[in-house]
Amino acid sequence: MKPPMPWMGGKQALTAILVSLFPQFFQKYVEVFGGGGALLFHKDPDSHHEIYNDKNHLLCNFFRCVREFPEPLIAALEFTLNSREDFRYNREILRQAFEIPDVKMAAKYYQNVLQSYAAGVTSFGGAPRSMWSRFPAILAASARLQNVVIENKDFEPLFLQHDATDTLFYCDPPYFETEDYYENVGFTKDDHFRLFELISQATGKILLGYNHCDEIMELYAKPGFMILAATRLNNIAQRYEGGKQYGELIIGNYDLFAKINSSRQMTLWGEAESEIDERNVIFNGI
């Protein structure tokens, strides 16, 4: 299903590929840097214990309100204006402290995300947006989130709390040298190394997404990791250069093709093609 929240750097273009790379068996799914939750909303809930986490308290408040108060949230959004003045006013109000959940603050934050440039929240987009067209997605997301635990933690205590052999952690941290793009997160360059040290010692399965850059390749091209190269459309660049792709790294601490290879289907002409296969492997330390 489509997530209700558009998000800068979201993984909607890669969700089918990422789900195909899940391990065959796990009982707990933890989305460590939840963002817009594109992968959570795409995956089948099955019987997994699901946890959504993000350090951004405004995001967590929004998803708590979607889950628990969808109708009041829609009512608060029904007659909002797509205007620069409202956008600036909301940014000032959202700097105030509040207790989660808060429907008023969730509505203001959602309005600003939806009406900002490239869902970046910091600048007014000025493009036409239908708020009412989003209401069905909010209601659908409320139903999907009923059994999802929503957390607002730094990634390290979250890992330490849930690390186990039957846990799958999906990590989509701020990309290297884009740490300042996200407000209310406080993720720094040093945190990339802190995350690596934590992942290196993890008992559970790790699926990790990053931008394709030398620094991350050097960090993870070590025994115990498999790295795949992938691309997705660069949505922001489309208006200037149609078809422009963005290089991605998909990193795992397990055989990323185990599930694909175990369920590969045969056609009359041979094996059915997958969106991603061994040709995408650029490092294999498994």
Please check the confidence at residue 272 and state whether its pLDDT lies above 60.
no
Residues of 78-88 as b/e, b for ≥16 C-beta within 10 angstroms?
eebebeeebbe
Please check the confidence at residue 181 and state whether its pLDDT lies above 90.
no
Choice among 100-114, 201-215, 267-281 with the minimum mean pLDDT: 267-281
Cβ contact 202:60 at 8 Å: no
Mean per-residue pLDDT, 79-97: 97
Mean per-residue pLDDT, 151-164: 97
pLDDT score for 241: 54
Mean per-residue pLDDT, 202-212: 97
What's the mean per-residue pLDDT of the chain? 91
Please check the confidence at residue 161 and state whether its pLDDT lies above 50.
yes
Q: What is the pTM of this model?
A: 0.91
E strand intervals along 116-241: 148-151, 167-171, 205-211, 226-233
Distance from C-alpha of 248 to C-alpha of 228, rounded to nearest angstrom: 8
CB atoms near residue 7 (< 10 Å): 21
pLDDT score for 268: 46
| Angle, in degrees to the nearest 10, between helices 135-144 and 57-68 | 90
Segment 16-54, tens digit of pLDDT = 999 999 999 999 999 999 999 999 999 999 888 999 999
Q: What percent of the chain has pLDDT over 70?
A: 91
**Residue extents of the structural domains in the chain:** 1-56+152-286, 57-145
Mean per-residue pLDDT, 248-262: 94
Cβ contact 246:231 at 8 Å: yes
Distance from C-alpha of 44 to C-alpha of 144, rounded to nearest angstrom: 10
Q: Which of 89-103, 243-257, 268-282 has the highest mean pLDDT?
A: 89-103
Please report which confidence band the pLDDT of residue 273 belongs to, taking 50, 70 and 90 as the band edges: low
Please check the confidence at residue 274 and state whether its pLDDT lies above 90.
no
pLDDT score for 114: 95
Q: Which of 7-11, 12-16, 233-237 has the highest mean pLDDT?
A: 12-16
Class of domain 1-56+152-286 (CATH, top level): alpha beta
